[in-house]
Structure 1
């Protein structure tokens, strides 16, 4: 049986048009999507030329939080909420999940009704059979599983038979490559006035026919203090975990049964300046993705803290870059080989084309920057980088995005694993 990386390796050998619906195949482009507030825009991504061409948009009932395609790339499942990050209660629009049919040109059309959710969905994924939609919620930290109907619409939630340990502040859910387990990444929280640190953890559940059951709670030394995981991704034999609260990369063993090693193999600082975390309030890490060939890992550092300057809030100087790691396929040891300016603030999501030659990073917001005696506004945007054979990135261009109507919260390709 082929595993995920074997399939991706075969897919990566195909031209980009092999992944696209027919109209895109003619242009040798891929559908690329990015959201600003409730608006989800389609771009034609020319991988060879590294250009983005707007091709239309759809509007959700609330702000887009995350999206994931089904394995056959026929449908895109989008979760949305008008609750601000960190908030507890719903605003107008509430929380929902919506299926979209993907047209021949990549255009999206609503497919079935929007399903109301009880809380803010922060992440969603589809299992490898395409039968289930898994959704993670940060407050309260929780997870749900929905049936996906034969026609691709979102069905009823699967009533879980077991009480689940869902940690503190879930931030991502992923089904492991063999589809036998699911991992809920729970970030925890830094200490704050009157409240000690909330520990972070990775909760691995057995996953069968939509049912989850507690299998493996993971946190260094068992307590999760000083462990703030945000996102993870899979290499052939390892798991790469981005530690948001520590600006670090963590590597676990990935076993054939879908469980992880009991303790991290490696934890490495992701910052070009190891002292940046202490110097710049608001310095955190972002998402992580493994290159399709499994040899490189990409992770963002995000610094959007501000200071006062002449009555304005301006950037405080924190790191906003992409850390590039070389991954030893035998031992899993990561070696940081590059930190490159992201040309924007708060890279919350980014995508890599299936051929592994282009990376597109979505900066979340615009921010004023103080340089000398001047204050300049740096826009949000989509930064495009060429990926070399050595895994390193070369900046190509930035596609500016107007975020006056909302933050650029998510971007992605239909070729997400």
Structure 2
């Protein structure tokens, strides 16, 4: 078997199959989808009615894009990049950046906006606070965070010095501000999957947040955190419920927001995310998004392991799916509705259109299969039914190799 740390190096030179043609549209869409491939970020307008994308312009950064987040005003997009991490020549890299882009309100086209910030190490996630005044960045190794001022014109300003040494856990993977803008949650995944060579606990690190300054509040984790590998979380739009994907254990945890500790000490509910929780395949839960209506929540399951077959490394099997859950509107309890085939390997990011009718998922890399074919990297289009269930419509194949992964993609509504 091949673990997730070395998987990408075996894909060097493996290319996706030639991509299908993207559609054409005569009218601009209010919703756009951005997808990265290495240092490039491509704009697609979204045809929700036909579950289709229209490919437009591409912009580039100076290093491979890791994550991006729009400003609440919808006028700017903040992008963090690095030459470290999976698919890079070196694990840590030596070029780590944050860039601001102005979003054209009619087309979604991006133009550089202000100076580039140099960051201390590889950024793995970024987000903006509710007021749109600060950019928050999480770093995986060493696990860390920084807060940067956003100037009135949307450009990036100075880093906010923190008055105390903060416990940033092991392998930070996401940083979010609570909807009341009073707390920051740093999701630290740890290293406790079966294939991890170094073993560390996972935790949700909670900080008070005021004027860009963080103060320690709590660390939320079961026991010693050794069976708890959280990856991402999302908030219910109207109720005080927080939905957390637990990567290493393929679980969905639900917490309640708390005005003092940020979230409850104990989860309200714990659910399995796989169609077969007893499966022995190496699996990881992925990103998570609550439906705009608050009635459903979606996350991905990712299989990644290669095995030797007749001297070749091929997919060892497992579940690459999108899990759909219905949310009880009285209690917040999620109930699994469906595990739909992702029709691609390793769905690392996805987005839901604000109308809640379309889910667009992006896989990171191609995958060699046992039958000698290659499953290409792709952008997958899924319709969302009134009952929350998904229907696969089509894939747009993407040219993505080990050095040019589709590492981030997301939906943005134009101003």
With the length of structure 2 as denominator, give the TM-score of the two structures.
Answer: 0.89
Distance 2:328 2:369 in 1: 38
Residue in structure 1 matched with residue 395 of structure 2 by the alignment = 398
Which of 386, 409, 412 aligns to 1:411? It is 409
Stretch moving more, 389-398 or 329-338:
329-338
Distance 2:196 2:303 in 1: 25
Residue in structure 1 matched with residue 301 of structure 2 by the alignment = 301
- Cα distance 1:89–1:339, how it changes in 2: closer, same or farther (>3 A)? closer
Distance 2:168 2:406 in 1: 28
Which of 139, 142, 154 aligns to 2:141? It is 139
Which of 116, 120, 141 aligns to 2:118? It is 116
Greater RCO, 1 or 2 (C-alpha within 8 Å, sep 6+): 2
Residue in structure 2 matched with residue 17 of structure 1 by the alignment = none
Residue in structure 1 matched with residue 357 of structure 2 by the alignment = 357
1:55 Cα shift? Answer: 0.4
Is 2:236 the partner of 1:238?
A: no
Deviations 1:342-371 (A, max 9, x none): 01011100000000000000011101112x
Distance 1:82 1:258 in 2: 36
Please state which structure has a larger fraction of its residues in helix. 1
Distance 1:110 1:258 in 2: 38
Residue in structure 1 matched with residue 291 of structure 2 by the alignment = 291
Distance 2:212 2:262 in 1: 18
1:91 Cα shift? Answer: 3.2
Aligned to 1:414, the other structure's residue is in SS state: strand
CA RMSD of aligned residues (A): 2.0
Residue in structure 1 matched with residue 379 of structure 2 by the alignment = 382
- Cα distance 1:109–1:250, how it changes in 2: closer, same or farther (>3 A)? same
Length, aligned pairs only: 385
Query: 1:210-221 alignment to 2 at 5 Å?
Result: 210-221=212-223
Distance 1:42 1:195 in 2: 38
Distance 1:337 1:162 in 2: 45
Is 2:335 the partner of 1:332?
A: no
1:329 Cα shift? Answer: 2.4
- Cα distance 1:55–1:144, how it changes in 2: closer, same or farther (>3 A)? same
Gaps of 5+ in 1: 1-23
Stretch moving more, 199-208 or 182-191:
182-191
Residue in structure 1 matched with residue 312 of structure 2 by the alignment = 312
Residue in structure 1 matched with residue 251 of structure 2 by the alignment = 248
1:413 Cα shift? Answer: 1.7
Distance 2:175 2:350 in 1: 17
Alpha carbons 2:87, 2:404 under 8 Å: kept? no
Alpha carbons 1:173, 1:182 under 8 Å: kept? yes
With the length of structure 1 as denominator, give the TM-score of the two structures.
Answer: 0.88
Runs of 4 or more above 6 Å deviation: 191-196
Alpha carbons 1:138, 1:169 under 8 Å: kept? yes
Residue in structure 1 matched with residue 274 of structure 2 by the alignment = 271
Stretch moving more, 184-193 or 347-356:
184-193
- Cα distance 1:82–1:203, how it changes in 2: closer, same or farther (>3 A)? same
Alpha carbons 1:33, 1:42 under 8 Å: kept? yes
- Cα distance 1:91–1:194, how it changes in 2: closer, same or farther (>3 A)? closer
Alpha carbons 1:360, 1:384 under 8 Å: kept? yes
1:32 Cα shift? Answer: 1.0
1:274 Cα shift? Answer: 1.2
1:330 Cα shift? Answer: 2.3
Stretch moving more, 132-141 or 310-319:
310-319
Distance 1:144 1:377 in 2: 40
- Cα distance 1:191–1:102, how it changes in 2: closer, same or farther (>3 A)? closer
- Cα distance 1:25–1:256, how it changes in 2: closer, same or farther (>3 A)? farther
1:98 Cα shift? Answer: 0.3
Residue in structure 2 matched with residue 183 of structure 1 by the alignment = 185
Alpha carbons 1:178, 1:258 under 8 Å: kept? no
Alpha carbons 1:86, 1:139 under 8 Å: kept? no
Stretch moving more, 330-339 or 112-121:
330-339
Deviations 1:56-75 (A, max 9, x none): 10011000000001000111
- Cα distance 1:252–1:107, how it changes in 2: closer, same or farther (>3 A)? same
Stretch moving more, 187-196 or 375-384:
187-196
Alpha carbons 1:180, 1:258 under 8 Å: kept? no
Deviations 1:348-405 (A, max 9, x none): 00000000000000011101112xxx32111011101000111100001111111035
Distance 2:188 2:28 in 1: 41
Distance 2:196 2:72 in 1: 46
Alpha carbons 1:237, 1:329 under 8 Å: kept? no
Which of 162, 167, 172 aligns to 2:174? It is 172
